[in-house]
Structure 1
C-alpha cells in the first residue's frame, strides 16, 4: 500500500515534467486574496476559583493569501500558493506554502498543505461556519479560565492529523461527480527546511503518513447529494523506552442532502491514538441544517465528541444557531448563539453560552 501511494504521486509529478512548454503570458500572474473575520462577543461561562472571563470582547481571524499561477500552451497549470496569518498575536506567521500542477489528468500539490483526507472531506451545514464549521476559527469560550484541561483545542471535526506538514498529494479529475485523492508525508513532525534532511527514528515523533479520500457530488432532479470518506495513518517513531506510543489512525464519513432551499447533513469522525499516545482516542459526530432565503442563510448544528483532549476524559457538546446575511460579493454579516459544555472524567463539568455578532470580508 505504501509503495502504491508513493508511486502514484511520483507518476503524477513526472507527468507534467515530461513535456516542457512556454507560458502563454511569458510568466506567472500574481494575485493577492484573503479574509478578515471579526466579531464582538458576549460570553457567560463557568470559571475556576480566582479566574474571571471577560463578558464582552473582540475576536478576529485574518489571513493574507498570495497565489502565482500561469497556464502553459500545453494546457498545464502551474502555480504557487501561500497563506499568512495576519492578526497581531500571529506575527505574520506562515500557515501554508505549496506549489501545484494541474491538467486534465488531475492535480498535484507539493509542499506545506493539508492532505487528502481533509481536502475532500464533506462538511455539515452550520450556524456560522467560522464557529461551528469543519474547522473552528472563532470561539468565545475560554477553557483555561473555566478550569478544564489546559490548552483545550478548538471543537473541530476535520480529519487532518498531518496538518500543513510538507507532503505530496494527488487529486483525480472529477469523473461525473466522483473524485479521489492520496497523500504522502515523509515526516509530520518536521518543519519545512532547505538545508539537511530531517532526523529519523526520534522517540515519540510523528513520522511518515499516508492519506486517502473519496467524494461524490451530484444532482438528482430537485435533490442534491454530497457524500465522502477519508482516512489517514501517521506512523509513530518509537522504541522500547516509549511503549505507550502507537500509530495515529483517523477517519471520517460524511453526507449532505439538499432539497430546494434546505440542506441537512451529518459527519462522523474518529481518531485513535491522538498525538501518537496509545489508547487516547477521540470520536464524535456533528449534524447540521440550514435554510436559504434570498441573501439570508439560517442554520443550526449539534456537535458531540468524546475525549476531545489528549489527556483524555474530556467530553464536549455544542449547540449552535445563527443567521448569515450576504450583503455583497464575498461579504457577510453573521449573528449566532452557541452553548458548549465540557464534562471531565473527574466530574468537573463546565459550560458557557456566547452570542457572536460579526462580519467576514473576503478579498
Structure 2
C-alpha cells in the first residue's frame, strides 16, 4: 500500500494512509500512527560528519475507471463513466545519521498538476516540504506538513488500493455543499508549522503542533514578508494529540484522541476540532472507526460563526491474507449550519490484489447519498470501478 510517514512497529499500522494524495481538496490517511522515536538514530552506526545525507526518490500514482449511475440535479446530468487520476506524487527524501547519533532529514512531496491539456499551464509544485531532527528526545518537525492531530489519527481501514471511505482520493458523488468526508483534523493541514512528538513510552505517545498562519497551505513563504492578519482565515492553530499502540494476546490495539483550536479576527468565531479513533487487528482482520466534531468551521478550514457544527463518523472492517485484501466501510457526515442540515453518507465495498513490486489492482464499489433541508435535495449515486495503484 502507499505510505507516507514512518510508523511504530505495530501490525495495524501497516499503512499511514489516506495517503495524502489529496485530489485538490480531499484528504488523506487511514492508519496514521506515528514515528517510533525511542531509539531512532541511536542504534545505527554514526556516519562521518562530512558524509552527505542519503537521498531517495519515489512516488505513486492511483488510477481508476468507473461506471457511475448518479441522479440528475435539476437540469444537470452527470457522466456515466469516469477516469480518475489521483496521487500524482513524487516523494524526495534526504536523511542521515550524524556523528552525534541524531537523525536529520528533509521530506518533500511534489504534486503533479492534472491539467494535461495545458489550458491553465501544466506544473508541479511542492505540497509539503519540511525538515526534521529525531533521537532519544523524540522528533521535531518544522515546515509545510500535516500536524500532530492528523498524523496520529486512527480511522476506518482502507482496503481498495489507494482509496478509502475516510478522506477518499476518489469519491463518485453528486456535488454537495460544504460537507466534509473526513474525520481528520484539516484546520492547518500542509501549512507551515512546528511540531514535536515525544518518544513512545509503554505504547503511549504525545504530539504537539503550532501553525501561525493556517491559510498558507504549503511551503510557499519566502521569509521576506509578513502575512497580513485578516478575518477570512484562521491563525495561531494549536494541536495536541495522543495515541497508544500495543499488542495483547495476538490482538493489535491502536487508539488516539486529538484537540485543535485556532483564532480568527471575525466576531464570535472560535474554530475548534476534536475527535478520536481506534483500530483492532487480529488474524488478518482490522476493525477500525473514528468520530470527529468541529465548531465554527465551514468545510475544511474556513471560519464561520453561524452556529456551524459538523459531526462525522466512520466504521469499517478489512481482511487481508497473502496478496488479497477485502473489506467494507461506511462514513456519515452531518453539517448543521444555523439550523440548516446537510448530510452525506457513503458505503464502500471492495478489495485489492498485490501483483508485486508496489503494483496493486482493486475493485471499488461506492454507494453515496446527499440530502439537505435547505431546499429538500436528496440525491443518490452508485459506482463501480477498477483501480490500478502503483508505488515506486
TM-score by length of 2: 0.80
Alignment match of 2:292 (pick from 269, 282, 299): 269
Instruction: Find the counterpart in structure 1 of residue 384 from structure 2.
Output: 355
Give, in whole Å, the separation in 1 of the partners of 2:391 and 2:355: 12
Deviation at 1:194, TM superposition (A): 2.1
Alignment match of 1:181 (pick from 173, 195, 207): 207
Q: Show the 5 A alignment for 1:86-165.
A: 86-89=112-115, 91-128=123-160, 130-143=162-175, 148-149=176-177, 152=178, 155-165=181-191
Q: Show the 5 A alignment for 1:316-331.
A: 316-331=344-359
Give, in whole Å, the separation in 2 of the partners of 1:108 and 1:259: 33
Deviation at 1:141, TM superposition (A): 2.4
1:26 match: secondary structure: coil
**1:252 and 2:275 equivalent?**
yes
Instruction: Find the counterpart in structure 2 of residue 216 from structure 1.
Output: 244
Deviation at 1:228, TM superposition (A): 0.6
Give, in whole Å, the separation in 1 of the partners of 2:239 and 2:107: 21
Of 22-31 and 291-300, deviating more is: 22-31
Instruction: Find the counterpart in structure 1 of residue 108 from structure 2.
Output: 82
Deviation at 1:308, TM superposition (A): 8.3
Instruction: Find the counterpart in structure 2 of residue 31 from structure 1.
Output: 56
Instruction: Find the counterpart in structure 2 of residue 11 from structure 1.
Output: none
Give, in whole Å, the separation in 2 of the partners of 1:179 and 1:304: 29
Q: Show the 5 A alignment for 1:185-200.
A: 185-190=211-216, 192-200=221-229
Sort the Cα spacing of 1:357 and 1:24 in 2 relative to 1 into closer, same or farther, 3 A.
Answer: farther
Give, in whole Å, the separation in 2 of the partners of 1:44 and 1:199: 46
Q: 8 Å contact 1:215–1:229 — kept in the other structure?
A: yes
Instruction: Find the counterpart in structure 2 of residue 49 from structure 1.
Output: 74
Deviation at 1:353, TM superposition (A): 0.4
Deviation at 1:292, TM superposition (A): 1.4
Q: Which has a greater percent of helix?
A: 1
Sort the Cα spacing of 1:340 and 1:133 in 2 relative to 1 into closer, same or farther, 3 A.
Answer: closer
Q: 8 Å contact 2:110–2:128 — kept in the other structure?
A: yes
Sort the Cα spacing of 1:221 and 1:88 in 2 relative to 1 into closer, same or farther, 3 A.
Answer: same
Deviation at 1:117, TM superposition (A): 0.4
Residue-by-residue CA offset, 1:85-124 (whole Å, 9 max, x unaligned): 1143373122111111111111111000000100100121
Structure 2 spans left out of the alignment, 5+ residues = 1-40, 116-121
